A and B are shown apart, each in its own frame.
Chain A
Amino acid sequence: MKVKLLMIALFVCLPMLADDAQEFVAESQTPPAAQAEQVPPDPEKTDEPSDVPPAEGEPAKETPTLEELAARVEALTEALTENRNTTDLLSKMKLSGYIQAQYVNDERSLNELNGANTRNFDQFSIRRGRVKFTYQFLPTSKFVLQPDVTSSGVSLKDGYVEFTEPWTTWKHTLTAGQFNWPFGYEIMYSSSQREVPERSRVVRTLFPGERDRGVMLSGLGLNERFSYRVAIVNGTGTAQAFDANKRKDVVGRIGYSFGAFDFGASVYRGEDLVATSTNARGLEFDKERTGIDFQWATPVPGLGLRGEYITGQQAPASGTTRSESQDVRGWYFYAIQNIGTRHQVVVRADEYDPDTDIDNNAVRTINPTYIFHWDSHSKVMFSYEFIRNQASDPDDDVFTLRYQYAF
């Protein structure tokens, strides 16, 4: 990059220097008017040396002295140094992102004039349009900002600063701002890399938006096999700008890698303030999640398996008559088969039970997907979700055709 910029600078500067040289020679060696009337040299013999001086206004062909050249090289070096300083600063800024354009066909769709409460889900849309700005001048601190520009509007996904200690190999890092909840695997796994269109139902329900605001401490040690992340957060996610209750929530994950097999355990402890039928100011309900996850690069070539199980307590919806949270649980399992470098066949199965005290009310989904990696930046995804609700099973399967470009 820098070399290219230097080359561009050279290209820009060289003609300028050439112009300067012409002016310099023209001023000092312009021939008298009488000489200018002499017969000009034959243009067809321009390769041959000629004693005829140049006509008025024409550049002389005299070679600049070494001192003159040295002065120009020095001037050029100064200009290049300035350019290099600028490019050095720019090289600390990293820009990445991706866009997901898609068509969705949803069996629930009905014609609906009122766009705000649309019941027609069959449409083209920009599902995600992320641009991530990272600025890191020194290895001890980092700035990250990631807006999401979609058909629905613009929102902030990530916005945080990181401070990394330089004294140990653990590289303990303090993160402050808005970031992913450090829980499980699927939350922190980028949507640009995920092999199905959306996260599993249990993750979407218990961790809506996947992000919260707070501070987090993280590190990587034991020969980079052990990782930890622990955060104190508002607990309200990013859907609303304020935290309703004074208490802060604690969430964290520890992980260990055995090489091809990785394992993690996560915990979330907090409370939600919810208005009930008898208390409009709200009651605090337990908000707890405990999870385990694994990722296995199996010995079968190209076959990866992934899974997560989450159990916990979820606060009821606003206006509830309940006084306690309800027990919830859910899981997901991925089987991903790579075929060569461009094809992926994926099946994800997941289940979410919103109240374990009630029988037969879980929602199960089977999500077969095929991905074609068109090139190193873009891929096309064909995905079908078979959704089965144990309580009642309406027609609600979803087909998604998605094109993604990432840089």
Chain B
Amino acid sequence: MKKLILLLAALALPLAAQKPITVKGSDTMVIMNARLAEAFMQKNPSIVIQVTGGGSGVGIAALINGTTDIAAASRPIKTSEVDKLKARFATPGFATPIARDGLSVYLNEKNPVKELTLAQLRDIYTGKITNWKQVGGGDAAIILYSRENSSGTYTYFKDNVLMGKDFSPRAQTLQGTAAVVNAVAKDANGIGYGGAAYAKGIRFAAVKKDDKSPGVLPSLETVRNGSYPISRFLYLYSRAKPSGAMKQFIDWALGPEGQAIVTKVGYFPVK
């Protein structure tokens, strides 16, 4: 009998060990999370971590309905989402800031405009400013590229740059920051926004808090010291305080190796 129990335990253990930890959510964070997971799994082959995107809202919804272990979010969780989490799982959730991001404004490399104030950005994206010559550029219509509304980047930009106002209906919605970067890289009159990690083939606009402030580019220093006006934390949300393999992964991601990967993919370390 004991042998049978031992045999069953031996069979069950690998099954238990193989249950993957799922990370779902922010498209902004998906490459960083995948790199973190790959490096972590190489060091810890018995732990499987599955990373998928979909947007911060989708990740948090999955956390609430129990279909993911970790929600990756590029914005803080909303009060209404905390209420749902409390109602369903009797927990307000647990947030771990894993990286910092300077939410960058992308311009085409041929665009003569170098810097924009927050007010100009708001007017551009709400449709009040429609021509580059209104902000010191050439006489050409501004082509707006934006993200889908399930994206944390979209929500953050709307709340912190547009101050809650609605995007212009002319803004073209693209899925993923990489698609926004690609569109701006090909469109001389395009403008987009997203994480610094994706900025290839375009250049950043220096962002000014107001007319009198100097234009600031997103960098480790300016994001850390708060002089870059549009910076944010990137979070991993779990239902409870992480424990077991999940804690092992998050602790490692916050450690020197994990934060080195964060920096390598273009974000800024939290420590």
Contacts and interface: CB of A to CB of B under 8 A. Distances in A.
Residue of A224, A295, A297 with highest tally of chain B CB at under 10 A: A297
Interface stretch (B117-125, B130-138, B162-170, B206-214): B162-170
A298 B148 contact: no
A297 B84 CA distance: 12
Interface residues of B, number: 23
Contacts of B225: none
Interface string A162-200: 000010000000000000000000000100010000000
Interface string A83-107: 0100010010000000000000000
A341 B169 contact: no
A257 B88 CA distance: 17
B67 interface: yes
A233 interface: no
Interface stretch (B5-13, B26-34, B89-97): B89-97
A204 interface: no
A295 B66 contact: no
Contacts of B148: 2
A139 to B, nearest CB: 6
The prevalent SS among residues of B at the interface is loop
B164 A139 contact: yes
Interface in A294-326: 295, 297-298, 301-304
Interface string A115-139: 0000000000000000000000011
B127 to A, nearest CB: 13
A166 B169 contact: no
Contacts of A298: 90
Contacts of A2: 148, 173, 175
B65 A376 contact: yes
A96 B199 CA distance: 37
A111 B92 CA distance: 49
Given A2-B148, A224-B79, A376-B65, A303 B164 contact: no
Contacts of A91: 149
Interface string B135-158: 000000000000011000000000
A304 B86 contact: yes
Contacts of B65: 376
B240 interface: yes
Nearest to B172: A84
Contacts of B91: 260, 297, 301-302
A247 interface: no
B164 A166 contact: yes
A373 B66 contact: yes
B175 A193 contact: no
Contacts of A189: 87
Q: Which 8 A/B pairs are nearest by Cβ-Cβ distance?
A: A304-B90, A341-B66, A376-B65, A224-B79, A297-B90, A376-B67, A297-B86, A297-B91
Interface of B: 62, 65-67, 79, 84, 86-92, 148-149, 164-166, 169, 172-173, 175, 240
